[in-house]
Chains A and B, each alone.
Chain A
Amino acid sequence: MARKILRINMTDLTATYEDIPEKWAKWAGRGLTSAIVFDEVDPTCHPLGPNNKLVIAPGWVSGTPAAPSSGRTSFGGKSPLTGTIKESNSGGLSSQKIAKLGIAAIILEGQPKDGKWYYLFINKDGVKFEDATDLLGKGMEEVDRIMWERYEHKPAVIGIGPVGERLAANAGISVNDPENNPGRYAGRGGLGAVMGARHVKAIVVDDKGGPGVEIKNMDLFKKGRKKLTNAIMTHDLTKKGGGLNAYGTDVLMNIINEAGGLPTRNFSSGQFEGAAKISGEMIAEMVEKRKAGMTGHACHPGCIIQCSNIYPGPDGRIIASPIEYETAFALGANCGIDDLDFVAKMTKACNDLGLDTIEMGNTIAVAMEGGLLEFGDKEGALALFDEIAKGTPLGRVLSNGVEATAKVFGVHRTPTVKGQSMPAYEPRAIKGIGFTYATSTMGADHTSGYTIAPEIAGVGGKVDPLTYEGKAELSLAFQATTAFIDSTGYCLFIAFPILDIQEGFEGMVESVAGVMGWDISANDVVEIGKEILKMERLFNERAGFTNLDDRLPEFMRYEPLPPHNVVWDVPDEELDKVYAWVHES
């Protein structure tokens, strides 16, 4: 059965299944959310107004049998945080279930005339619009629990917490994990507020009896799947017992700290004396010592990397899942907090209230610099979540992110690009990622430029890592490949093994080609990715963005970052090279 577009109109409460128009037929995941937003959303619209849309799409291989680590769902729209196009993707249960219902994308549009709130139940028989009055104000833990009580077959629950209901710019979209916890987030960019602006509290997806995913060339798909699986299972970072499996993404904490690139106390230092205490190694130690929780947790069915964790408190009761590197950096080092239990408690609050942990931690750090509380004040930081939960004026300021909070508290050191705050890699100390932060169509984003093999990047296999020469071309190749991988439904972490293992890269491409019935090779990946980037870049241009927005914040140019005492000194002309091709030919 051919994939369908499910269009849900909240103005007249209708749901229609449409054939995919030819112009979107080849896309899935990020490629499809960006294509639909590009075609259907006015770039000048207000992100919270009636003309924005939320688009939800599984990837090319989502829902296929045993494609490894392929449970990512893309969410797209115009971002209330950045004003740019946004694609944010999540693990959890939703991707495979949406795909198995034969749905290529859900387009959520309009706003109820009566001002009521709804939740949607989607299964093989169609869409039901249900009254969500009794869910309003509830956190995602309770919403997930209620939905599994209300519906059988352990459905996927896509939802927003109270912060999303209040249309805050740092509202994420939660997806439940296999244990029905709300820890998986399309966190970045405030898409929870775009969902809230449609007055949709939750979308429940049950794939029981669905048609499944059509695979055009099963032999090619199987061949690719095997090669990719082998690559994942043999690479040091992604294999069983490898770095990610043993310590999670927080395996990077001590490395980046040793390198002097760990943003600390609102990006005023590249090193945090308490880094080891909030590292992945310490998470593993706590799990062993407290004999509870786990490392090596799978965030979605069929993941073979299993880099998530479940973090226990001193009494052995679970506090939160997962503690990611980005979470531990933002709520830990960047706030001067070296207590994992408090990082976990704040993570739980973010997951329940519906907040992106990166933006939230960076927001608290800015508030600390602005004098609201001291760096390192863990009790004070945790108490801020009560303000957010209650929706006090302070809480509402904080739930709108770094730039809003910096303005309110008179802070000039705002570590943002296009309104989105930076993840856990200081670009003054690690300059390559600065190219991607500055030029990404998404604002400062650590997942928009994953390395690919030089043979594919077209840089001839040799790159001098110590000069700016060639970095723009490299960043573009990385961003394009990442846009492709974000369209597959595969977790971006497959990018680690497929850089180092050629067969893995070929396997990734062959599995996609098998599903879609294409004749493409590894050499086509960058060009396909560039098509996605071009749509995103043009949307942003039409929304008013220019090359002058492709810049890192001013303070990074004149404030030397300890311990290396380096500033951001990359010439603007080098940054402008990354997207110069968009208007060529």
Chain B
Amino acid sequence: MCYNEPNLEEARGTFMEVEIALYGKIARAGGGKHVAVLTRSLPTGSRIRDVLAALGLQPEEVGLIFVNSVLSDLPGLHIALDDELHAGDHLGLFAADYIWPYQYRDGTVVSPRLREAIATGDYLHHHPRGRWSET
């Protein structure tokens, strides 16, 4: 586990601080082995995609995404990458191989974009690749 001090050298007017938690294989991008929690100064208006780029992570390395405790993405969907972050946000990123079993997430708080996606897609499997054949 690794905690990094916030970078206070950046000018506050055009930058914002965001807390980022990295879990699993992607923790290396934050200096940890399995978990890393760090605070980053990012240009105002940065999106999740920008955070991943700043950390040197590819989008496909990341699965479950939480923004301020709101489930915003599932493995394989990649629908939250353009969500904009705000000063003081907490971003929880899990490596792509994490799975949150359906019975333990059914009825949890989700982002508007994810709500839209799962209203028309398949939400009930544990993994988005999981799907029974049409028989």
Contact = CB atoms under 8 A, between A and B. Distances in A.
B130 interface: yes
A433 B126 contact: no
Contacts of A236: 75, 97, 99, 127
A458 to B, nearest CB: 12
Contacts of B124: 451, 453-454, 459, 461, 463, 465
Contact of B69 (A259, A281, A471, A474): A259
B108 A258 contact: no
A434 B92 CA distance: 25
A449 B106 CA distance: 12
Contact of B97 (A243, A254, A434): A243
A496 B99 contact: yes
Interface size of A as a range: 35 or more
Q: Is the interface of B mostly helix, strand, loop or mixed?
A: loop
B106 A465 contact: yes
Contact of A429 (B103, B108, B129): B108
Given A282-B34, A499-B126, A258 B104 contact: no
B125 to A, nearest CB: 5
Contacts of B33: 285, 288
B80 interface: no
Given A255-B98, A256-B104, A432-B107, A284 B34 contact: yes
A431 B69 contact: no
Contact of A465 (B100, B123, B126, B131): B123
A409 to B, nearest CB: 30
A256 to B, nearest CB: 7
Interface in B76-90: none
Contacts of A425: 104
Nearest to A566: B109
Contacts of B37: 276
B95 to A, nearest CB: 9
Contact of A433 (B68, B75, B104, B129): B104
A450 interface: yes
A455 interface: yes
A496 B34 contact: no
B98 A243 contact: yes
B1 interface: yes
B82 to A, nearest CB: 20
A277 B3 CA distance: 12
B65 to A, nearest CB: 9
Given A277-B1, A279-B35, A563-B69, A433 B103 contact: yes
Interface string A448-484: 0111011100010101111000010010001000000
Nearest to A450: B103
Given A252-B104, A284-B34, A431-B106, A260 B125 contact: no
B21 A496 contact: no
Interface in A210-239: 235-237
B106 A499 contact: no
A478 B103 contact: yes
A255 B97 CA distance: 13
Interface in B17-70: 21, 23-24, 27, 33-35, 37, 64, 66, 68-69
B125 A453 contact: yes
B6 interface: no
A465 B107 contact: yes
B113 interface: no
B96 to A, nearest CB: 9
A436 to B, nearest CB: 7
Nearest to A289: B33
Given A451-B124, A500-B125, A261 B92 contact: no
A432 B103 CA distance: 7
Contacts of B71: 259
A116 interface: no
A430 B66 contact: no
Contacts of B92: 254, 258
Given A237-B101, A276-B21, A451 B108 contact: no
B23 A237 contact: no
A376 interface: no
B67 to A, nearest CB: 10
Given A254-B23, A254-B35, A496-B99, A282 B122 contact: no
B105 interface: yes
Given A237-B126, A453-B125, A465-B123, A433 B34 contact: no
Contacts of A450: 101, 103
Contacts of B106: 430-433, 451, 465, 471, 474
Interface in A126-163: none
A276 to B, nearest CB: 5
A242 interface: yes
A471 B23 CA distance: 31
B103 A436 contact: yes
B119 interface: yes
B108 A502 contact: no
A261 B108 contact: yes
A464 B119 contact: yes
A443 to B, nearest CB: 17
Given A430-B108, A502-B132, A463 B103 contact: no
A390 interface: no
17 contacts: A242-B97, A252-B100, A259-B66, A261-B108, A270-B69, A276-B1, A281-B1, A281-B24, A281-B27, A281-B35, A431-B106, A436-B103, A461-B124, A466-B115, A471-B106, A500-B125, A500-B130
- Complex A-B, nearest 4 residue pairs according to Cβ-Cβ distance, in ascending order: A500-B130, A432-B106, A431-B107, A281-B34
Given A259-B69, A434-B107, A496-B101, 18 more contacts: A236-B97, A236-B127, A237-B99, A254-B94, A255-B23, A255-B100, A256-B104, A281-B24, A430-B104, A449-B103, A451-B101, A453-B132, A455-B135, A461-B124, A499-B130, A502-B135, A564-B109, A566-B109
